[in-house]
């Protein structure tokens, strides 16, 4: 490389963004932080550790471009950054129903605070929205144009309606303040660093199989979900952030392969082996019957699709849970 081809210190600096990830010590957030650091950015991880853990980012404590801030996004925050990923919010039904008022506050007041910050800084902000905005869908698979079927007063409403209101706020900041917003609707995602006690189906089934306990199928097990491996999801989020200012979404991010809970249980048992039996428990209220993303828009707009097959992703996740020791001890 000739001297003139070398990137100057200044141009290198401009490629390095200061990126804030709220909820960065959580499952998805911590993988996103890893990816952003690997891409050469400075990362400010903001978390109140409600469901996240320092352990999820402990491997980064000595990283020169990583910073960790304990902060609750329902309180205002003043920092200087170039991009914001808003991932803070408990995501599993057990966790978001533990303190439903706080869940709605995190989604709504947290969004107002983070949008206010983005507005002052005039920087792009990406919202981790959810397939739950479609509720128990009567359109299948779900395209972004579907407005959803959500119970506004049920046990899942703090999360579903909180996330719907956050989307409204994002689009109003766009219309009213011309803010560069991005909204991704994330479908069930799994992988290493899922919280072992969050009651989500993938972590439940894997831990039950590793412990030789019964596998708890809620209802008849014929209900379906589409499971996206975490690396695919992070890749989609980063691609969305890189789009031009006119690209707002919402865009679905998920794996189009649809499985029943019985099929998921069987695949986990095939991988783990052991003697676990399937037992049926009561189906939770408002549990969606079917869920599968229509990801046509993500393919067209982002050139993105989830490529990790369920078995491959489950094998990596089983390895993580096996090595973590969570099958035999409580999490830190």
Q: Which residues bind ligand NAD (CB under 6 A)?
A: 22-23, 25-29, 47-52, 72-74, 87-91, 95, 106, 110, 128, 130, 186, 188-189, 195
Mutual angle of helices 27-38 and 230-241, in 10-degree steps = 60
Number of residues that bind ligand UDP (CB under 6 A): 16
260 DSSP β-pair partners: 224
Burial class (CB in 10 A: 0-12, 13-18, 19+), 230: buried
Query: Which is closer to ligand UDP, CB of 37 or CB of 215?
Result: 215
- Least Å distance, CB 214 to ligand NAD, is 24
- Least Å distance, CB 35 to ligand NAD, is 14
Q: CA 22, 25, 29, 30 torsion: positive or negative?
A: positive
Query: Which is closer to ligand UDP, CB of 111 or CB of 217?
Result: 217
Exposure b/e, 242-271, CB count within 10 A at least 16 = b: ebeeebbbbbbbbbbebbbbbebbbbbbee
- Least Å distance, CB 159 to ligand NAD, is 7
**Residue 287 touches which member of ligand NAD, ligand UDP, none, C-beta under 5-8 Å by kind:** ligand UDP
Q: Is 66 helix (H, G, I), strand (E, B) or coil?
A: strand
How big, in percent rounded to 5, are the helix, strand and coil portions of the chain? 40, 15, 40
Query: What is the end-to-end Cα distance of the chain in Å, rounded?
Result: 49
- Please identify which of the residues 96, 159, 173, 229 carries the catalytic annotation: 159
In this structure, what are the phi and psi dihedrals at residue 164, rounded to the nearest 5 degrees? -65, -45
- Least Å distance, CB 34 to ligand UDP, is 23
- Least Å distance, CB 140 to ligand UDP, is 14
Burial class (CB in 10 A: 0-12, 13-18, 19+), 152: exposed
Among 142, 188, 252, 308, binds ligand UDP (CB under 6 A): 188
- Answer yes or no whether residue 90 interacts with ligand UDP by CB under 6 A: no
Q: Is 247 helix (H, G, I), strand (E, B) or coil?
A: coil
**Residue 161 touches which member of ligand NAD, ligand UDP, none, C-beta under 5-8 Å by kind:** none
**DSSP secondary structure string, 261-290?**
HHHHHHHHHHHH-S---EEEEPPPTT--S-
159 is catalytic: yes
- Least Å distance, CB 68 to ligand UDP, is 28
Among 23, 93, 135, 250, binds ligand UDP (CB under 6 A): 93
Tokens 């990283």 correspond to 63
Of 26-34, 37-45, 63-71, 212-220, the segment contacting ligand UDP by CB under 6 A is 212-220
Query: Which is closer to ligand UDP, CB of 109 or CB of 261?
Result: 261
Q: CA 254, 258, 262, 264 torsion: positive or negative?
A: negative
Query: Which is closer to ligand NAD, CB of 77 or CB of 283?
Result: 77
- Strands, DSSP E only, in 105-219? 125-130, 181-186, 189-190, 215-218
Of 81-89, 112-120, 198-206, 271-279, the segment contacting ligand UDP by CB under 6 A is 198-206
Among 35, 41, 185, 225, binds ligand UDP (CB under 6 A): 225
Query: Do residues 257 and 307 touch, judged by C-beta distance below 8 A?
Result: no
**Residue 42 touches which member of ligand UDP, ligand NAD, none, C-beta under 5-8 Å by kind:** none
Q: Which residues bind ligand UDP (CB under 6 A)?
A: 92-93, 188, 199-201, 204, 216-218, 223, 225, 261, 283-284, 287
Residues carrying an active site annotation: 159
């Amino acid at each position: 490389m000739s001297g003139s081809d070398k990137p100057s210190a200044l141009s290198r600096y401009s490629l390095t963004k200061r990126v804030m990830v709220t909820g960065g010590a959580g499952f998805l957030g911590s993988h996103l932080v890893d990816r952003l650091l690997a891409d050469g950015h400075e990362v400010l991880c903001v978390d109140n550790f409600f469901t996240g853990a320092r352990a999820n980012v402990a491997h980064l404590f000595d990283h020169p471009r990583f910073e960790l801030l304990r902060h609750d996004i329902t309180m205002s925050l003043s920092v200087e950054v170039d991009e914001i990923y808003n991932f803070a919010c408990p995501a599993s039904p057990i966790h978001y129903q533990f303190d439903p008022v706080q869940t709605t506050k995190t989604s709504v007041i947290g969004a107002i605070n983070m949008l206010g910050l983005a507005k002052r800084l005039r920087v792009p902000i990406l919202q981790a929205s959810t397939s739950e905005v479609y509720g128990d869908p009567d359109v299948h698979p779900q395209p972004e144009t579907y407005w959803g079927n959500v119970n506004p007063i049920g046990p899942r409403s703090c999360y579903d309606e909180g996330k719907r209101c956050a989307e409204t706020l994002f689009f109003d900041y766009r219309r009213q303040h011309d803010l560069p917003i991005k909204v991704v609707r994330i479908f069930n995602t799994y992988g290493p660093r899922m919280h072992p006690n969050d009651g989500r189906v993938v972590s439940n089934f894997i831990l039950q199989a590793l412990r030789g306990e019964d596998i708890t199928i809620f209802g008849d097990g014929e209900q379906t979900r589409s499971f996206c491996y975490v690396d695919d999801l992070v890749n989609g989020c980063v691609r969305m952030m890189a789009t031009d200012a006119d690209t707002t979404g919402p865009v679905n991010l998920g794996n189009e392969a649809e499985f029943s809970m019985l099929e998921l249980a069987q695949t986990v048992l095939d991988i783990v082996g052991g003697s676990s039996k399937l037992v049926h428990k009561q189906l939770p209220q408002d549990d969606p019957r079917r869920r599968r993303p229509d990801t046509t828009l993500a393919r067209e707009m982002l050139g993105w699709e989830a490529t990790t097959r369920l078995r491959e992703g489950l094998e990596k996740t089983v390895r993580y849970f096996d090595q973590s020791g969570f099958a035999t001890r409580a999490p830190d």
